[in-house]
Chain A
Amino acid sequence: MSYLFDSGNWEWLWTGNNFKFLLEGFLVNLEIALIGIVISLIFGTLLALMRISKRRVISVPAGIWVDVWRNLPLILIILYLALAVPSSWRQAYADAIPGFFPEALQDELVLGALLGLVLYNSAVLCEIMRSGIQSLDRGQHEAAASLGLTYIQQMRFVILPQGLRRMVPATVSQLITLNKDTTLVSIIAIQEVIGRAGNITSASGFFGGVPAPVLQVYLVVGLLFVIVNLALSRLSRRLEIRERERTGTTIERVKGIEDQVAAETDVITSR
């Protein structure tokens, strides 16, 4: 126990460049997560629309696609893509990415990681969106139809906006999961917080100076995640409350459960 609290073991935190080094790495995780969720949202919505299409030619293959990616471990997908993405794509990515993006993201290996994150999360978000859209009362569809709106117009002006809005808390929740998942890219040698934490512990041993023990360093890493994710989940809760106030219907989601669970245990209560 004394090992845990011995101040000598925590000295690395305020000595030298260590904390800044760690923080820079953490920012990479956050950036990847942000970009990941945005792109995943776009594709997820597209997939959801395909899934609820009346034409089976569209909905069935989309369904298979989503079910496959949703059920695979993200780390398997990332490891595979790190090997399988052709270098021409990677070059294209490195060239296409604008200069104002942070340096870590300009690295071409990030493409494999982003691709994996998007493939997986778009499938997950698709299911969340789908349940959001389908949770809307039948009545909305009929009402919209009786107003003379075509299917597309119904979707665009009535169904989708409401469905998407309902899914905002769930999406923020998914962002939290995505945040955690970004640590997986450390396994394909992308310079983010876990790799940097390892550097700190190795360097302290080799170059001497203040010792940076593994336990303390990674506890700090964990803390960084808790802080950010906690803030995000508070945001999510606020959004849910706002939604409830506004529309009078609630999706009483089992709070914060990962991925698919959210879609399956939604309880809709109307007042």
Chain B
Amino acid sequence: MERKRWHLLALATVVLAALLFAACGDDDDEEPAADEPAVEVEQYPADTTPGKIQEAGEITIGVKYDVPPFGLNNPQTGEVEGFDVDLGNYIADRLGVDAEFREATSDNRIPLLVDGTIDLILSTMTITEERDLEIDFSEPYYVANGDVLVPGDSDIQALDDLNGKRVCTALGSTYADTIKKEAPDADLRLVDLYSECFDQVQTGSVDAVSTDNVILTGMVIQDDTLELLGLDYTTEPYGIGLPDGDTEMKGFVDEAVAEFISSGAWQETYDEWVGQHLSEEQQQGPPDVTLEEALKLFPLEK
């Protein structure tokens, strides 16, 4: 009697498990082929990183999943979308491979690159000397400026006003240190994701959020009762994260970035993701900073 019951139970479990696996196994759609004009693809020798990627047929890029307009996972399409994503796709096209994206938060992006889980970091990452110790950077592909976001009715006007207030930014970002310097008495709240900062300023758990103005713009787009102070108190050149010392990869990526800018693709992507939300005066152009200059902006402490 009991044997039968046991068999039933085991069978039910197996069937349930099988159903679950089957239901999800064939879920994800392939990325639709881009209808861009065919890009010239340079074949790289098999022992270089670009060559290996070409052999594998895909490049894995770490992007943000919760930071519009650079990287946001869109439920309607199930794909991640944004400026960084478009640039990532552009680079993949130039290598003739598919781009595969995964989430890279401010906290885990460098470890993921260092251990090879991802090939590139395209995650609103500011170029700093400290980071340069562990990884390499491409030439800057975007220059953001530091700003502060507050609720519309806040009385915070300047950086000094942050003292004694609760300010939110991400663990592992450049702002964690910058704010400690600029407003040492500010009550700094560090989170994993910028979406949490956004959340907290909306619910009144923090008084201000400070990070790159373009990320904050993404927040203002979502909630127009918030406003930017327009401080531009830091210059944050974004660079693509590359494996340390990999000259072929860097050569390839730098070329790709330069093409991206010169071919007008940068402007197109900018307009689509950022420009259309900003007024005339706030618009900006492609980066005019070199990697060397960028590194000097965030030198090593100690």
Q: Chain A: residues with CB nearer than 8 A to chain B?
A: 16-18, 21-22, 24, 27-28, 30-31, 34, 82-83, 86-87, 90-91, 100-104, 107-109, 187-189, 191, 195-196, 198-203, 205-207, 209, 214, 242, 246
Contact = CB atoms under 8 A, between A and B. Distances in A.
Nearest to A90: B117
Interface in B1-42: 2, 5, 17, 20-21, 23-25, 27-28
A232 to B, nearest CB: 11
A199 B82 CA distance: 13
B216 to A, nearest CB: 13
Contacts of B73: 191, 195-196, 199, 203
Chain B interface extent, by class: 35 or more
A214 B221 CA distance: 17
Question: 6 closest A-B pairs (Cβ-Cβ)?
Answer: A205-B222, A87-B115, A102-B24, A21-B75, A206-B68, A199-B73
Contacts of B74: 199, 203, 207
B117 A87 contact: yes
B108 A206 contact: no
A270 to B, nearest CB: 19
A134 to B, nearest CB: 22
Given A107-B102, A199-B66, A202-B222, A24 B24 contact: yes
A187 B107 CA distance: 11
A90 B115 contact: yes
Interface of B: 2, 5, 17, 20-21, 23-25, 27-28, 65-66, 68-69, 72-78, 102-105, 108, 111, 115-117, 192-193, 195, 198-199, 218, 221-223
A16 B75 contact: yes
B5 A242 contact: yes
7 contacts: A24-B78, A102-B25, A103-B28, A109-B117, A195-B73, A200-B75, A202-B222
Given A199-B65, A202-B66, A246-B2, A100 B75 contact: no
Nearest to A99: B25
A81 to B, nearest CB: 13
B21 A100 contact: yes
Contacts of A188: 108
A27 B116 contact: no
B84 to A, nearest CB: 14
B197 to A, nearest CB: 12
A92 to B, nearest CB: 13
Contacts of B102: 107
Nearest to A205: B222
Contacts of A27: 20, 23-24
Contacts of A246: 2
A130 B25 CA distance: 37
B68 A202 contact: yes
Given A21-B78, A199-B65, A199-B72, A206 B222 contact: yes
A187 B192 contact: yes
Contacts of B17: 34
Given A189-B104, A203-B75, 13 more contacts: A24-B27, A27-B20, A27-B23, A28-B24, A83-B111, A90-B117, A102-B21, A102-B24, A103-B27, A195-B65, A198-B193, A202-B198, A207-B72
Nearest to A242: B5
A202 B195 CA distance: 7
A104 B27 CA distance: 10
B24 A214 contact: no
Nearest to A190: B103
A109 B72 CA distance: 20
A117 B195 CA distance: 27
A82 B75 contact: no
Contacts of A198: 66, 193, 195
B75 A206 contact: no
Nearest to B102: A107
Contacts of B105: 189
Contacts of B221: 205-206
A215 B115 CA distance: 38
A203 B76 CA distance: 9
